[in-house]
Every structure is written in structure tokens, then in C-alpha cells.
Structure 1
Amino acid sequence: MAENNASETAPAKKGKLKLIIMLVVVIIMAIVLSVVGTMWFLGGGLPFMSEDHGEAGETTEEAFVPSTYLLIDKALVTTVQAQGRQRYAQVYLALEATDPQALAAAQLHLPLIRSQLIMLLGKSEFNDLQTPEGRRGLAERMLTTVNQVLEQEGEPAVKRVLFRNFVVQ
């Protein structure tokens, strides 16, 4: 009788051990799948499925080149016409370039650049200067003017003209 009891308990322990092993495997698989799914969903890609096959000679990305700035300390102040009345415009500028040589050239030719920008600002309409679109257009015209002056002098171009302060009254 003792032998019958021993044979009945052995299969029960073996079934519980199988169940525990299967549960552990299922939990590990769920964790692995959730990590892989998260990496794929967030766009990080999977390290073992990357399309880079070790070709170090080819680069598809351009190298990041930080911008440098030239602050024009003196404000551009001029009068602008507004329905027969004279109004004033005061603009503080900065020039942005990725080539430091362009900013050095702009610093060298700053009196000519300031003169051209003041004339351009004086030709602007007061009502246009009060709208964001008018200010963007003025910045683009100023960039064109600055780059024309630099081109006449044989210097590299600047990237952007930035307004640091803009007052019309």
C-alpha cells in the first residue's frame, strides 16, 4: 500500500513543475516581446535588424555646423511714411552665419551694410512693419541687401538676418 501512495504523488509534482516552467517561459517571452515592440514603435530600431552593414566609407548625414552670430550694437533708426505722417522705426539686428569668415567680412564692411539697411528700412511702409508677414519680408529683403554688399566685396554670404528688438511708433 505504501508503494501505491508514492506512485500517485510523483506524477502530481512533475505536472506542477511543468506548469511553473511554462509560466516562467511565457512571462520571459512577454517581457522580451514588449521591449522589442516598444523599441520598434518608438523608432529606435532593433540593433540586430539595422540596415547599416558596417560600411564606414559612406555617410548619409551631413555634419552639424553650429551657427555664429554678429550683434550689431547700434540700432538702425529712421523715419517711415504712414498716411502722410512721419513715424519712427528702431531695429536692433544680429547676423547669423555658419562660416565665421562671413561674419568677419560683415564686421569689416559694417558701415556700408548699415547705410544700405537704413535706406531699405526708410523705404518700408509703416502698416507693413506692424504685421508679422511684413517683418518677415523686411528680414528677407535685409538679408538680400547684406548678401549683395558682401558679394560686391568678394566675401561669403550670411545665412540670416535676425531682429533682436523691433520698435515702430
Structure 2
Amino acid sequence: MAKNNAKTPAAAAASAGDKSRLKLILLIAVALLLAVSLSVGATWFFLSRGDRQAESATDEVAEAAAPGKQPAIYEDLAPAFVVNFSQNGRQRYMQVSLSLLARDQAQLDALKVHMPLLRNKLVMLFSSQSFDTLVTPVGKEMLRQQATATVQELAKKEIGELVVEQVLFTNFVLQ
């Protein structure tokens, strides 16, 4: 007997339904993959454009800052200066911590070579002060300006340029 190759109508409908269901699942997967790809691409585009804008903004800031003032560099002079002086036969002490404000690190490093001489000049300046003058805010400010002038004078003499803009008191104790 010959075998019947024809499928029953129910089997034919089931295989057609499987094929259409498979096509639907495949179509949904492709659409989902396309949506994810578009989302990732758009995110990358917008974020990289923001990076380029931020990078160009920082370049503009750096170019604008180059001709003007450079950022401040602070160099602490450690250890703190401790000097003694006599006031009406009474021994007095002063402790001062200093920071130097400069703009060029290379020049500041060149000044560090002369640090023993700088510290000596500052100790001599501090020990020559009067206690009555130093207890007033005006006296402290005058001492700060004298210290700045001393440091600038030394830098001009040894390096040939004004390296330090200001000398700042970070700690000031009188006893």
C-alpha cells in the first residue's frame, strides 16, 4: 500500500501556526535589538558631544588663563619659626608659621635652594621686633609686609625675579 504523504488538515494548520509564531517571535527580537542599538547609539552620541564641549571649554579656560595670572601655589615653610626677644628685662617668645604665595613652580623650586639663607633673614627680622608692636593687628600686618619684602629682595638678588607674591602667616603665637 502506498503511504499517504498528505497531512491531515489539523496537522497542516498546526505547522502553519508554528511558522507564523516563529516569524512573529523573530520579528519582535529584531525590533527589540534595533531599539536597543538605537538607544545605545543615541546615548553615546549625546554623551560624547558633551565631552567634546567640556573639553573645548576647558581648553578655552586654559588658553584664557595662560596670558593672565597663573593659579596660586602655596609653599609652607616648615618647621615654624620660633624666636625670642627681650621686653623690659622679660624674655618673650614668638612662634610664626609661614606660607609663600607664588605662581611659578619652577621659580619656587629655584628659591628652595636658598632656603637656609631665607630662613636666616626671616629669623633676624622676627627677632628684631618689639612685643608692644606685635600685639596689635597693624603691627602684625606690618611684620607680614616686611617679611614679604625680605623674601622678594632675596629672590630678586639670588634668582633675578620676584618669585613670591606674598608671605602669609598661617600661625602666629606670642608669649
Output the amino acid matched with 2:167. Answer: V
Q: 1:92 aligns with which of 94, 97, 105?
A: 97
Indicate if the aligned counterparts of 2:110 and 2:159 stay in contact, CA closer than 8 A: no
TM-score, reference length from structure 1: 0.60
Q: 1:118 aligns with which of 114, 123, 133?
A: 123
Asked if 1:106 is matched to 2:104, the reply is no
* Number of equivalences: 109
Q: Which runs of 4+ in 1 moved over 3 A?
A: none
Greater Cα radius of gyration, structure 1 or 2: 2
2:123 aligns to what SS in structure 1? helix
Indicate if the aligned counterparts of 1:101 and 1:156 stay in contact, CA closer than 8 A: no
TM-score, reference length from structure 2: 0.58
Indicate if the aligned counterparts of 1:105 and 1:155 stay in contact, CA closer than 8 A: no
CA RMSD across the alignment? 1.7
Asked if 1:163 is matched to 2:164, the reply is no
Q: Which runs of 5+ in 1 are unaligned?
A: 1-58
2:75 aligns to what SS in structure 1? strand
Cα distance in 2 for partners of 1:96, 1:64 equals: 13
Q: 2:141 aligns with which of 121, 136, 148?
A: 136
Asked if 1:74 is matched to 2:85, the reply is no
Cα distance in 2 for partners of 1:106, 1:92 equals: 18
Q: Choose between structure 1 and 2: higher helix proportion.
A: 2
Identity %: 38
Q: How does 1:30-41 map to 2 (within 5 A)?
A: none
Output the amino acid matched with 2:123. Answer: I
Return the offset for 1:103: 1.6
Cα distance in 1 for partners of 2:77, 2:161 equals: 18
Return the offset for 1:64: 4.4
- Compared CA separation, residues 99 and 130, structure 1 to 2 (3 A): same
